[in-house]
Chains A and B, each alone.
Chain A
Amino acid sequence: MEFDVVKLGFSLAGIIILLFLPPYLDGIARRVKARLQYRRGPPLSQTWYDLQKLFSLPSVRSTRSALFTWAPYLALASSITAALLLPYGNIVPINIGFNLIVFFYVILMVSVLLMLAGLTVQSAFSHLGSAREMQIILTVEPLIAILYGVMAYNAGSLNIARIIAHLHLTPSLVLTYGVLAYALYVESGFVPFDIAEAEQEVIGGPLSEYSGRLLGVFYYAIHIKRFALLWFFISVLVLPWLGTIATSIKAVEVLALQFLLTLAAYPIIAALEATNARLRVDQVVKMNTRMFFAGVIILAMAFMGW
């Protein structure tokens, strides 16, 4: 039963990371952005304070729809579930389907619920925001799908563990990593791809009618989703090259590496966010479509064995 204890330990570590780290990551990003703009910036836990504040406020109710009330909780549950599907060290906390496509769809559910929530109220702004979110998904999903295709072909499986175990280095894989980083960045909705929420244009998009605790839950869900996508990328990027993880010690090292790389990635993201301005919908669509055709070529390269 010793292994189970180890597993339990890693799972707990994973759960703690995925529950507590995401707002801090946002804190890092805010701090980095502030520094880039020669400001001092808020403390690292500022996002936590914000959430705390939101959680303590009652929400304004703009519709009686049950979906409006439940969507934030379901979104949060989806993003946590998605994060639970990822390896922490070499342990996946819950094994409900150890594969890329399930992960991909569970992450998608966060967006689905966000959009549904936005569409339940009678408001042009939230409708617009939801529609924008959908359009981003429309362009980024094929991109992700094709990159999954490359990885599945490269490793011969869609199982995340097997992918990690069997990926071998080819030129197409390198390109895949590059494009995947881009795709996940878009999917996370960082600037310049934050057109769905776009405060200045559509006053928060799908979230425009949310306030108080419900808004807090939604924000929390979105932070966890971003974390999950990043963690996923880091895992796919790093784990294949570390060899088999046979011992708990090595697993701890790996977990630490994942953790540190995640922390390290955020300043880069923040820098990108700070130095870019939001794109228009059509620009995003155009960029992603181009990327998609690049992806088709990468897939062809993969099938040719490159």
Chain B
Amino acid sequence: MILEYVLGAFIIGGLIGFVKDYRASVKASSFIAFLGSLAILWQVYKVYTSGPVQGTVFGIPVHVDSLSAVFLFIVGIVSLGSALFSIAYMDYHEQRGKGWVYAIAYNTFIASMALVVTVDNLEYFVISWELMTLSSFILIFWKEEKRDLDASLKYYITMHFADTIPLFLLLGLAAVLTGSIHNLSYSAIQSALLTAPPSTKAVFYTLSLLVFIAKAGVVPLHFWLPDAHPAAPSNVSALLSGVMIKTAVYGLLRFDWQISGQSITVGYLVASLGIVTLTVGTLYALKEINSKRLLAYHSIGQMGYIWLGIGIGMVLIPKGGMLTAVGALGMFAGIFHAVNHAIFKGSLFLEAGAVEYATGTINLNELGGLGSKMKATALATLFSSLAIAGIPPFNGFISKWLIYVSGYYSESYILALGAVLAVFISAATLASFMKFYSSQFGGEMKRYSEVREIPAVMQLGEWILAALTLIIGLFPFLLVGFLNNAVSVINNGVATPVNGNIYKIGFSSVLFSPVLFIIVLGVIAFGFYLAFKPEFGKEAKPWDCGSTELEWDEYRLEAEGYYLKYEEKIGAFYRLSDWFYGIGSLIIHYITRAYLWMASYFTKIIDTPYTKVETLEDLREREILYIDEEIFKPLLRFLNIARDVLPGIRLGTFVVLAIIIVGAIVGLLVAL
């Protein structure tokens, strides 16, 4: 099985990190991760051409069906770009040392994600899931800056409470369902759930949804994401945002749809969460001026689109008739958007990393004027930005468009409103990426006149993904069969009636032909360009009203000033969200207070009884109180007195006493 090569590559990639020299270590391990990613894609291709494969990889039961293949493709393609990019990018972090930690965690991370989407057994799913969480946690704190540490802690604690605990309970539930701890394969759980009582099913839904909500960064468990994703090195951020949160989508489809059976209620829940998430995530992104945080918030927002699409599918597929087709389209579009988001978000994070590599900052307020210095990166960023904003003919447009179509056709008010909000948020995304692109690459600044383009291997890494945004956008039908297999495998053969051919794609009577579109657009643009070639007279600096005092670099709009008025006007939204956030921190605050109150009874009060306990440190200063000690205090006092009264009592005395007593009893027993 090819997956064996995949795992083998990542194991070697991790081990090779032990090379002493930092550069050699990161370069070699990244390169081997690149080979591993190629092997992943090879496996995907094999599954696509010759059907699902099943078997064991190093003793791990795997089953790569069409759904797994789609997500394995996501893992492979983003890792491919990221690994290539890493080969040169990791030099940037040389002063942090410990390349081997990076090497192991990075390779483990990709390998575990590949396993998450391919294993066929709940136990191994949990193991790979936990491995994924752990390795990503290590990568997030890898830079060891104070803020990154806090972010990684927040991430890990959230994951433990919202992922690990429910997953373990899910294991327990699965063992109850299948009646054995040795047979937790998906098919066994699925058939057990068929006959399970509704309450058991409800528990199953609740637990698994919780897991995937938290991992996907869906509101209300999204708070960790904007801190954690930017904290990692950019090549890892690409994997976090591009791939890791997609495993939650995989889980959602696998567990809450295929295994647990169809449920319209869950569908409405997923869709509404998607609607809220896409709104909250993107509108927060609009305010962001840290480029990686901005991207991270957009990951939340785009995840909302994916959930909305899948939610539409979950609601409509069971309804039958035309609505089933619409639902299948929604699910199809959701999965398609997951693929697309992986590609352009991976690319965008790599580009943010490229800018960081070249200039040393990711603050959009400071950046600017890089367009002429880093042409390749600028163009790649433009492609990916237009893709995420859903501008035709890039890939983001196609999948978003299909989500809108399914929402508008759903004949359900909530879902249609979801589609409306999705269109709106698409504009907000556009706004955000206008800012993202132009505040980095627009204008011309003296500050960055010495900046040079990044090394070729990094460019190759980002361009693999950036080029795909256009290729998939132009020829979306290339992926239709691939994705439709996935939709049909989890829907008992219901596939999406997406029609079209190599140069167009559509659903019932709505069609779009990206190729024709780009040809028309190109012909007109070129035609006019040739007919009215631009003629340039003199060159002049932009007009600055004749000011003499103006600093050239400052003659522009700072990133935070772009949409200030708009943000003020929708301030109510931010206040509402902040209020919810405040509630969250208030709950944590009161839990802490309650704990301190309780714990104060387990410490000995040394000074006055009314000492105020404000923090844990106050309590730690005190001596700890043990209940049993308090109960037996009289006895201890007696022993203390005995020790003082009886001269010459030593430890040995106790031994002798004890042996005498025990011996006497044993002797008595034997004698009787």
Contacts and interface: CB of A to CB of B under 8 A. Distances in A.
A198 to B, nearest CB: 13
Given A115-B434, A149-B420, A152-B408, A139 B566 contact: yes
B510 A97 contact: yes
Interface string B375-410: 000000010001001111000010001001100110
Interface stretch (A57-65, A169-177, A240-248): A57-65
Nearest to B428: A138
Interface in A96-139: 96-99, 101-102, 104-106, 108-109, 112, 115-116, 119-128, 130-131, 134-135, 137-139
Interface string B516-549: 1100111011101100101111111111100000
Nearest to B443: A122
B178 interface: no
B426 A120 contact: no
A213 B434 contact: no
B563 interface: yes
A300 interface: yes
Given A81-B521, A116-B434, A142 B556 contact: no
A65 B411 CA distance: 47
B49 to A, nearest CB: 31
A209 B517 contact: no
A282 interface: yes
Listed residue (B390, B442, B540) with the most chain A CB atoms within 10 angstroms of its CB: B442
A96 B524 contact: no
B571 to A, nearest CB: 11
Contacts of B516: 94, 96
Contact of A78 (B372, B521, B535): B521
B544 A62 contact: no
Contact of B510 (A99, A116, A121, A300): A99
Interface string A197-241: 000000100001100111011000000000000000000000000
Interface residues of B, number: 79
Contacts of A67: 371, 382
A77 B521 contact: yes
A59 B536 CA distance: 5
B443 A119 contact: yes
A127 B556 contact: yes
B591 interface: no
Interface residues of A, number: 86
Listed residue (A95, A134, A213) with the most chain B CB atoms within 10 angstroms of its CB: A134
A181 interface: no
B579 interface: no
A131 B442 CA distance: 13
A303 B510 contact: no
Given A101-B404, A141-B424, A153-B408, A116 B539 contact: no
A237 B368 CA distance: 46
B537 A77 contact: no
B247 to A, nearest CB: 30
Interface string B345-372: 0000000000000000000000011011
B534 A59 contact: yes
A73 interface: yes
Contacts of B541: 62, 122
B413 A77 contact: no
A119 B438 contact: yes
Contacts of A97: 504, 506, 510-513, 517
A104 B444 CA distance: 32
A17 to B, nearest CB: 16
B423 interface: yes
B47 interface: no
A94 B556 contact: no
Contacts of B521: 74, 77-78, 81
A28 B567 CA distance: 38
Contacts of A109: 391-392
Nearest to B529: A73
A118 to B, nearest CB: 9
30 contacts: A60-B540, A61-B538, A62-B541, A63-B443, A64-B372, A73-B525, A94-B516, A94-B520, A96-B513, A102-B512, A105-B392, A106-B517, A112-B386, A120-B442, A122-B443, A123-B443, A127-B442, A127-B443, A127-B556, A130-B438, A131-B557, A137-B431, A138-B427, A138-B428, A141-B424, A142-B421, A142-B424, A148-B408, A148-B420, A285-B565
Given A70-B529, A121-B443, A128-B557, 7 more contacts: A81-B524, A122-B443, A122-B445, A125-B543, A127-B443, A134-B562, A157-B509
